[in-house]
Amino acid sequence: MNQTTRHKLFEPFTFAKGVALRNRVVMAPMTTWAGNADGTVSDEELAYYRSRVNGVGLVITGCAHVLPNGMGFTHEFAAFDDTFISSLRRLAEAAKSGGAPAVLQIFHAGNKAVPGLVPGGDVVSASAITTDAGPFSPAVTPRMLVHDVVLPHVTLLPAASPRMLLVTSLMSRWTACRRHVCVGSYMVPP
Ligand SMILES: Cc1cc2nc3c(=O)[nH]c(=O)nc-3n(C[C@H](O)[C@H](O)[C@H](O)COP(=O)(O)O)c2cc1C
């Protein structure tokens, strides 16, 4: 690259909905396995975000499960209940402490949920097909979600967004990720 040329990576970018980034460097979502046992964000994680968000244009947090049985990693922070709002508010403060907007990544681990971490070991997915063991979860035969069970899931997943938007209204520019599932390579739809 020509030393005198400003690389596009460092140019501002504005999303269609108006969220403006100062540059195009994005902190990728990275689960830390460091949340508290009760699903809240730990001080260790807050320090992790504060130390890494300076200079980037956008921050995407590690994934937060939107249903108790959507937990895919040990010590993963949660977003399935309003009791987590203060925890998520602390996360938002840390994620945005570098001056960039932040996205909370919400997800449901589906058949990659860890049986020992979900209530009753009740791992659910789109179909009852036995999985191969993965790096973070054993082989399981999940319970298939049928229409009347899927509906609450579909409504509950976006329900986490207003929870984030509540945080938004208090803090501004916290952007809720409305994707239903984590886009990481090791996640599949529930
Ligand atoms: C420790 C670790 C944790 C990760 N956690 C998540 C996550 O929570 N959500 C997600 O979508 N991707 C997650 N990823 C995937 C990364 O965001 C990224 O997409 C992946 O590492 C590919 O980028 P790379 O080729 O630069 O490593 C994680 C990756 C690592 C290494």
The whole-number pLDDT of residue 108 equals 86
**How many residues would you count in the chain?**
190
Question: What DSSP state is assigned to residue 158?
Answer: H
Query: What amino acid occupies position 44?
Result: E
* DSSP string covering 37-82: TTSPPPHHHHHHHHHH-TT-SEEEEEEEESSGGG--STT--B-SSG
**How many C-beta neighbours within 10 Å does residue 142 have?**
22
The whole-number pLDDT of residue 188 equals 25
Q: Where are the domains of the chain?
A: 25-113+153-176
Q: Tell me what the mean pLDDT of segment 100-112 comes to.
A: 89
| CA–CA gap between residue 21 and residue 155 (Å, rounded) | 30
7-11, 53-57, 121-125, 149-153: which range is least confident on average? 149-153
Which ligand 1 atom lies nearest to the CA of residue 107?
9
Residues in contact with ligand 1 (CB, 6 Å cut-off):
28-31, 62-63, 105, 182-184
Q: Tell me what the mean pLDDT of segment 76-87 comes to.
A: 92
Tell the residue nearest (CA) to atom 23 of ligand 1. 28
The structure tokens listed for 28 are 């990728």
pTM of the predicted model, to two decimals?
0.83
What is the whole-number distance in angstroms between the Cα of residue 2 and the centre of ligand 1? 31
pLDDT digits (tens, 9 = 90+) for 28-44: 999 999 999 999 999 99
What is the whole-number distance in angstroms between the Cα of residue 29 and the centre of ligand 1? 6
User: Which whole-number Å values give the CA distances from 108 to 11, 20, 25, 155, 173, in the listed order?
Assistant: 34, 28, 26, 13, 24
